[in-house]
Every structure is written in C-alpha cells, then in structure tokens.
Amino acid sequence: MTMKTLTRVATAVAALPLLAAATLASAAPVAAAPKGIADCPYPYVCLYNAQTKKKVAQFKDITSGYQPVKNNSYYVRNTRYDDVVHFRHFSSYVCIAPRVSTDIPVTNGIKIRPEAKCR
C-alpha cells in the first residue's frame, strides 16, 4: 500500500464512530415539543390548547369508540410506543403515529388504538 492509500483508510476508520453516533441520533422519532409544553408522561396522549400550549386533557385508555373532546384544534403528544391515536374530524379522522407530537385540526373525538402504524 502507498502512503496515500494508508491515509485514506485511516481517515475512513476514524470517521466510523462519528457516522455511527449520527445514525443513532437520527433514529429517535420523537419530535421535541415546542417551548412551554408541559410534561406528558408515558403512556399518555396529551392535548394542549393550540394557541396557549397549556395542557387541557390527557388520555391513556384504549377504546373501541371515540371519547368526546371539546370541538377545538389542539397540539397533541402521543407518548405511547406502539399505539396510534385517531382524532375524529367531522366525518373523517386524523391518525397520529406512536411517539409523535404535532398540531391537529379541529377535532371532537379521540380514540387510542393498539396498532403500531396509521393505516
């Protein structure tokens, strides 16, 4: 091997720990909550007022039907590892995957389902 080849191999080997750390860091799917969002412990799904970001409700029971919520738009945090959350939106629904935090449109019902993915 030439000195140039040895330098390339040494550089590639030295970069492996950095690449592995970057890959592991990017594997975490949970989005950081906006500033002001109160803690939402596992295994809850928490609803926050979309404007003030104050917690208004939390749910943890898997149900066959929708539980009523005030007809409003919310910021939602789903801390569950393997359950999706359906929000009734008039005649349709919005599905939030496990370990996701996001804004949702006006909704009037919530249903936690024992499914790993939204369908």
Question: Strand, helix or coil at 1?
Answer: coil
Residue 24 lies in a domain: no
Range of the domain at 56: 45-113
The model carries a pTM of 0.69
Higher pLDDT, 109 or 33: 109
Q: pLDDT per residue over 25-43, tens digit each?
A: 333 444 556 665 668 999 9
Residue 17 lies in a domain: no
Residue 6: what pLDDT? Answer: 38
Residue 37 lies in a domain: no
Residue 70 lies in a domain: yes
Residue 64 lies in a domain: yes
pLDDT-derived band at 19, boundaries 50, 70, 90: very low
Residue 20 lies in a domain: no
Q: pLDDT per residue over 42-99, tens digit each?
A: 999 999 999 988 999 999 999 999 999 999 999 999 999 999 999 998 888 999 999 9
- The DSSP code for 62 is B
Q: Are 74 and 50 in contact (CB under 8 A)?
A: yes
pLDDT-derived band at 15, boundaries 50, 70, 90: very low
Q: Are 108 and 74 in contact (CB under 8 A)?
A: no
Number of domains observed in the structure of the chain: 1
Residue 89 lies in a domain: yes
Question: Strand, helix or coil at 27?
Answer: coil
Residue 97 lies in a domain: yes
